[in-house]
Amino acid sequence: MPEFLSIASPSAVAGPALIPRNTARVAISILLTLLDSWAVVAFGGTLCHLSAHQPIWLTGIVLLFVSLFASLGRTWYLALPVRPR
């Protein structure tokens, strides 16, 4: 029977990480949540008032905020340690 070389994943070959992957993901998620909430509080009201009588602008701003929260939700989903596979 021929012998096959085992191919190890890069994470198994590399040394131990200084910061565990999950801790780094949670820290990044917290940072992004703070930045996103600051952006919504700082600019949300102004953008809504500017686009009050312009439906195309309002649609664009709504899509912008929906994508912002969707990306934030995806970041938290990836950061959580327990998720179905």
Mean pLDDT by 10 residues, the chain (85 residues): 59 60 85 90 88 89 90 87 63
- Residues 72, 33: contact at Cβ < 8 Å? yes
Residue 55 lies in a domain: yes
What's the structural domain count of the chain? 1
- Would 84 be classed as within a structural domain? no
* Residue at 7 is within a domain: no
Q: Is residue 4 part of a domain?
A: no
Is 1 domain-assigned? Answer: no
Full domain range(s) for residue 48: 19-79
pTM of the model as a whole: 0.64
Dihedral of CA atoms 43, 45, 46, 52 in degrees, nearest 10, equals 140
Domain presence at residue 31: yes
Q: Is 56 inside any structural domain? A: yes
Q: Does 13 fall in a domain?
A: no
